[in-house]
Amino acid sequence: MQTVTTCRKNIRFRPTGYGVYFAVIVAAMILGSLNYNNNLGLLLAFLLGGMAAASLLHAYKNLTGLQILSAAARPVFAGETAVYELQVCAGSLPHRAISFSFQQAEEMYQDMITGIPRRLLLRIPVDQRGPHDPGPLRIETRYPFGLFRLTAHVSLDIRCLVYPKPVSGPLAAVQSYAGSGSEGGKELPGIDDFKELQPYLPGEPVEHIYWKAFSRGQGLQVKRFVEHAGTVVIFDWNTMKGAKAEHKLSRLCDAVLKAHRFNLFYGLNLPGKSILPDAGNPHRQNCLKALALFQPPV
């Protein structure tokens, strides 16, 4: 994303309720002073009016030149809260009491005095899977008097990928045995079959430590399990029962998560898109993305 800077052109202003109230008070002051021929009263009323006008200049200055260096959001599951992370910093001038918000997000208030970037987190609860568009970022200020509200809409063009909400249910997995059996298949790290003992390396799961050997004084050793690549699970859309597409996706999502957790070698078969069996984090993300962006057949 390119750095976006707020400029005068895309700032709109309108008086707040207090602004209207203030205007009424100043008008009343002018009328009263005229009636009583009180020149000092007029002077005061004009001063207040002039100050309100000058405050508008300050408000414009306060909002222009604000830089949004980056904006991004990690993928989330539907029903969770999307967290948009913005990096903002002051341009050539300090900015005070600025509020940042997306249409559905709560406002964040922030003072930005220096050119040091600040991280802002804007949260939006999401219910629908798919790419979530937060809409334009609304940057707003009522500084200094609270009489005017200045708003700049900045379109950041970012999306938060929302995976389907995982729903557990009977797995409709198609197990296919590729190859001629467990001996000939490719070995993958797994949890099913014990293979050998190996010296412990820092970072390996503690539950794999072979404590009995440790108690015999043979040092820390870990049990290595393997899975035979021959065991491949494929989650297939077509074999799943149930009517609603979204529900199917939710269950597939749950299946993908579980398969990943159990370190299975899994694949996904969706109408129009199939992902070959594999394992690991990128694969998981790939599958979830496919589920998130899946367009059910008409």
Partner 1 sequence: MKYPGSSIMKNAGKDISLILFALVIASIPYWVRLPIWITVWCLLFWGAAFLTNYRNWPPPKPWMRQMMIPIGLSGVWFSYGGVLAGDTFVGMLTIMLSLKPLEIQTRRDKMITVFLSYFLILTHLLYDTSFLIAIYMLVSVCITTAVLIHINHAGAGITAHLKLSARIMIQAFPLTITLFILFPRLQGHFWGVYNPAAEQTGFSEKLSPGGISSLAQNNAIAFRVDFHGQIPAPSRLYWRGIVFWHFNGRDWEWSGRAPTRQSSFAGSETVEYTVSLEPHYRRWWFALDLPESAPQRVRLLDDFTLISWRRVTERTVYTLRSHAAYHTGPLRFWETSALELPPRGNPRAKALAQEWSRRSPGPEAMVAAALSFFRENGFAYTLRPAPLEGDSIDDFLFRTRSGYCEHFASAFAFLMRAAQIPARIVGGYLGGERNPFGNYLIVRQSDAHAWVEVWLPQTGWTRIDPTSAIVPARVEQGPAAALPPAERPIFLTSQYLAGLYRYWKPVQFAWDRVNSGWNLRVLGYTREQQRELLASGETMGAPAMRIVIGILFLSAAIAAGVGFFYWGLKKTGPIQAERVQESYEIFCRKLARTTRPRRPEQGPVDYARQVARERADLAEGVEAITGLYVRLRYGRGGGARDEERLRALVQNFKLQRRC
- Residues of this chain that interact with partner 1 (CB under 8 A) are 18, 21-22, 25, 29-51, 53-55, 57-58, 61, 90, 92-94, 96-97, 99, 107, 109, 111, 113-116, 142-146
**106 within 8 A of 123, measured Cβ to Cβ:** yes
Q: Residue 65 or 136: which CB sits closer to partner 1?
A: 65
Q: Residue 15 or 144: which CB sits closer to partner 1?
A: 144
Q: Residue 31 or 276: which CB sits closer to partner 1?
A: 31
The CB-of-202 to partner 1 minimum distance in angstroms stands at 22
The residues pairing with 109 across neighbouring beta strands, listed in sequence order, are 99
Give the relative orientation of helices 17-35 and 39-63 as an angle to the nearest 10 degrees. Answer: 160
- Concatenated DSSP letters for 196-217? EEEE--TTS-GGGB-HHHHHTT
Residue 295, both tokens: 């367009």
The CB-of-117 to partner 1 minimum distance in angstroms stands at 9
The CB-of-82 to partner 1 minimum distance in angstroms stands at 20
Q: How far apart are CA 286 and CA 288, in angstroms?
A: 6
The CB-of-26 to partner 1 minimum distance in angstroms stands at 9
Find where tokens 């009636």 sit: 35
Q: Residue 54 or 178: which CB sits closer to partner 1?
A: 54
Q: How far apart are CA 190 and CA 225, in angstroms?
A: 5
Q: Residue 47 or 276: which CB sits closer to partner 1?
A: 47
**291 within 8 A of 252, measured Cβ to Cβ:** yes
The CB-of-80 to partner 1 minimum distance in angstroms stands at 22
Q: How far apart are CA 251 and CA 267, in angstroms?
A: 14
The CB-of-119 to partner 1 minimum distance in angstroms stands at 14
Q: Residue 99 or 269: which CB sits closer to partner 1?
A: 99
Of 125, 131, 133, the residue nearest 163 (C-alpha): 131
